[in-house]
Structure formats: structure tokens, C-alpha cells
């Protein structure tokens, strides 16, 4: 058997042959599939030419299988079932690789879990569309809750209440950071009250990070910090301002790594803040293949837990 024509034509002719057998006649098959009788007859003739033997006998009472046609029918039915499965699989694969994912992140470092997962997802699913929202964790949480985003990767602090469903994906320590030659670095053991003369770079008053810092000052009966610069998130511009001034800022370790030497963390026990990175989704979310794929990539990249003796 040879197939000089395209497989698509061959598939169609096999399907037509099976339909004629089901209906028992060319005319009924033509009516069933919405084609003319000559078109159906032509398809059967093409198929018989491909196979090399007659498959059907036409008569006044309709069409019936020849001996060879009966043998061919068994294989044709398996072929049709396999073709259907292939088409269904291809459709499913296209759906998985295409589609839209609306994702929020809080401007993490380039080597963060979220960014690595995004890059890998784009490599694996080039037909997908990604709408990436970069913003504050509180706003991103609300957008997931309101259905404006499918998922968000945000930091959370101890005791912070969340109405969205969360999956813990990692931890990130926060540091109070100053320029490398800051006067506070000359102190052997700086304390929270030593920070009073200096201004701060902080997020807006509504942010969880700022509320957390204010709680620390209040807990130690220290004067409220003076906020000189408000920013949405840590960026190169923020780090540049720190390097050129005496301002202080609370910076995640993930954003600090590439700046060490030009800025330094202060050794302040009061500000030993450990926060969690979480993946947020709506509690009643219908998980799409893209959402599930991103979740799995994030989970695959979680750091392995340290042995208990190293914690």
C-alpha cells in the first residue's frame, strides 16, 4: 500500500468508506455527511486505487463489502479511532501551549523563583500570551481576589491575613540597608534608636511592608521613622538613591545580592525580618493548563529545605 496523496485526503476517504459501510449505501452516506453521491463515489474509488483492490460491491440494494473490504474495514476502524485520538491530543496540546495567563509579581530580582518560572514557561509554550502586572503585594492580592489576575507571586509577613488561597514557595530575609560608608556602619552594635536621625525610603502607608516596619518601631517605643521617599518597590533607582544619601531602606535579600559592596545591611536584630514568598490564586479558581503549568514550575524551583541542624 502506498500513500502518494496527503494523509489528510487519505483520512477523509477512509472516513467516507466507513460511513458508507455504516449507512449501507452511497446515497444514504452522502445524505448523512452532506455531500453529493458523485463525491462519495469518487472518494471510494480513490481509496480502492490506493489499496489496490475493490472494497465495495455496488448494487440495487446498496453497497456491501467485498472479502478484501471486510479485512480492510477492521484496520480502517482502528485507524479512524487512532486518528481521532491524535486530533484530540493535538487540540489539547495547542490549548495547553496557547491561551492567556494573567500574572502579578512584585518586581523581584532577575534570578527569583517567579522570574525563572516565567522564562521557562515562555520557552516551553511559545504560543501563549502573558499579561504581566508588576505592583505592590496588597494590590496584586486584591486583583487576584477580584478576578483581574489569575495568579500572583507576592511576599507575606508573619501574621498577615490573606483571603486568597496561598502556596508557600520560598522565604526571603529583609535587611535595613545603607550606603557602604554610612555613619551607622561605624557603630559597633547599632540599635533601633540610633536610626532616629536618618530618613527612610519606604513603600506607601497602605503597604504590608511599611506597616510591619512601623509595628517594629512601636514595639520598641522608638520614634516613628521619617519617610523621605515613597516608592512602590525596590529598584535600581532606589539603590542609586541609597548610595548617594544617608537614607535607610528595607530591602529583600534577593534584591540586595548584586549591590553588596556599594550598599550594606545594618546588623540590627530588631529588623531580622523573615518573610514568605507565596503563590496566590482565587479560592474558587478554575485552573487552566497555563496556571497549572506555572504552579508546577514554581514548585519545582523551590529550594530544598535545610537539615534541622542547619536552620
pLDDT confidence of residue 185: 94
pLDDT confidence of residue 112: 81
pLDDT confidence of residue 305: 52
- Overall pTM surpassing 0.95 (yes/no): no
Taking Cα atoms as reference points, which of 177, 149, 175, 202 lies closest to residue 269?
175
pLDDT confidence of residue 2: 42
pLDDT confidence of residue 122: 93
pLDDT in single tens digits along all 311 residues of the chain: 444 445 566 778 888 988 899 898 888 888 888 899 999 999 999 988 988 999 998 877 788 899 998 999 888 888 887 877 777 667 666 666 678 899 999 866 666 889 999 999 999 988 888 999 988 888 899 999 988 999 999 988 777 788 999 999 988 788 899 999 999 999 988 999 999 999 999 988 877 778 888 999 999 999 999 999 998 777 788 889 999 999 999 888 877 878 888 999 998 888 877 888 899 999 998 898 899 999 999 998 876 554 444 44
Cell of 273: 525580618
pLDDT confidence of residue 213: 87
Taking Cα atoms as reference points, which of 129, 161, 101, 76 lies closest to residue 295?
101
Measured at the CA of 99, the angle between CA 95 and CA 100, to 5 degrees, comes to: 155
pLDDT confidence of residue 226: 94
The DSSP string of 134-180 is E--HHHHHHHHHTTS-SEEEEEE-TT---SSEEEEEEEEEEEEEEET
Give the separation between CA 7 and CA 13, rounded to whole angstroms.
10
**Domains of the chain, start order:** 7-96 (1.10.10.10), 101-303 (3.40.190.290)
Amino acid at each position: 500500500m502506498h500513500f502518494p496523496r496527503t494523509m489528510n485526503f487519505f483520512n477523509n476517504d477512509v472516513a467516507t468508506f466507513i460511513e458508507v459501510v455504516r449507512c449501507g449505501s452511497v446515497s444514504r452516506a452522502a445524505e448523512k455527511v452532506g455531500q453529493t453521491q458523485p463525491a462519495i463515489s469518487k472518494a471510494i474509488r480513490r481509496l480502492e486505487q490506493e489499496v489496490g483492490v475493490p472494497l465495495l460491491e455496488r448494487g440495487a440494494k446498496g453497497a456491501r463489502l467485498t472479502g478484501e473490504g471486510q479485512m480492510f474495514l477492521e484496520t480502517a476502524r482502528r485507524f479512524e479511532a487512532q486518528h481521532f485520538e491524535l486530533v484530540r491530543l493535538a487540540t489539547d496540546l495547542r490549548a495547553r501551549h496557547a491561551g492567556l495567563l494573567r500574572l502579578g509579581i512584585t518586581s523581584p530580582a532577575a534570578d527569583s523563583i517567579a522570574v525563572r518560572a516565567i522564562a521557562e514557561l515562555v520557552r516551553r509554550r511559545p504560543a501563549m500570551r502573558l499579561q504581566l502586572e508588576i505592583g505592590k503585594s496588597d494590590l496584586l492580592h486584591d486583583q487576584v481576589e477580584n478576578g483581574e489576575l489569575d495568579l500572583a507571586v507576592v511576599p507575606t509577613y508573619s501574621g498577615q491575613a490573606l483571603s486568597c488561597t496561598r502556596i508557600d514557595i520560598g522565604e526571603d530575609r529583609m535587611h535595613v540597608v545603607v550606603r557602604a560608608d554610612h555613619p551607622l556602619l561605624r557603630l559597633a552594635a547599632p540599635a533601633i534608636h540610633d536610626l532616629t536621625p536618618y530618613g527612610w525610603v519606604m513603600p506607601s502607608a497602605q503597604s504590608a511592608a511599611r506597616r510591619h516596619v512601623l509595628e517594629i518601631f512601636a514595639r520598641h517605643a522608638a520614634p516613628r521613622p521619617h519617610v523621605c521617599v515613597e516608592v512602590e518597590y525596590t529598584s535600581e533607582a532606589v539603590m542609586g538613591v541609597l548610595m548617594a544619601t544617608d537614607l535607610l531602606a528595607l530591602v529583600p535579600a534577593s534584591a540586595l545580592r548584586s549591590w553588596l559592596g556599594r550598599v550594606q545591611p545594618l546588623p540590627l536584630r530588631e529588623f531580622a525580618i523573615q518573610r514568605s514568598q507565596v503563590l496566590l490564586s482565587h479560592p474558587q479558581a478554575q485552573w487552566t493548563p497555563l496556571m497549572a503549568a506555572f504552579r508546577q514550575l514554581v514548585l519545582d524551583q523551590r529550594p530544598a529545605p535545610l537539615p534541622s541542624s542547619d536552620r
